[in-house]
Homo-oligomer: A and B are copies of this chain.
């Protein structure tokens, strides 16, 4: 199983008065990571929207094992933890660049919705494109 990697630099805006990234902002980082993931496998999210597919979030969860601080360079490793008929669950593991320890894991379940009202189903080509990233 492969993981997609992208980088993120923590800004001042991301932090809170504890001096760490505010708990909800890891979900913003996860959004960036999965956008790059989908772009790199050939499915830019923007284009999917243009083609009438939307991927609203059905549920998400975040587990915090550590924390990131201002100016940290983070590595985001994304993979598919579950692929169903009409949903895709993307897990993103966040760690500091050059360190092993996983700081935060976010999991986001996206539902596929078609603007034209057809019964929603993950586009076959998308399914194909990400299959190397599906967790064992």
Contact = CB atoms under 8 A, between A and B. Distances in A.
Contact of A12 (B13, B17, B44): B17
Contacts of A12: 16-17, 22, 31, 35
**Which among A16, A23, A58, A69 has the greatest number of chain B C-beta atoms within 10 A?**
A23
A63 B107 CA distance: 12
Given A46-B71, A70-B17, A61 B64 contact: no
A32 B58 contact: no
A133 interface: no
Q: For chain A, give the interface size range.
A: 35 or more
A54 interface: yes
A19 interface: yes
Contacts of A11: 28, 31-32, 35
A11 B67 CA distance: 19
Interface string A1-44: 00000000101110111111011110110011001000000001
Interface of A: 9, 11-13, 15-20, 22-25, 27-28, 31-32, 35, 44-46, 54, 56-64, 67, 69-71, 108
- 8 shortest interchain CB distances as A-B pairs: A24-B27, A61-B61, A15-B17, A46-B71, A17-B19, A23-B57, A13-B28, A59-B63
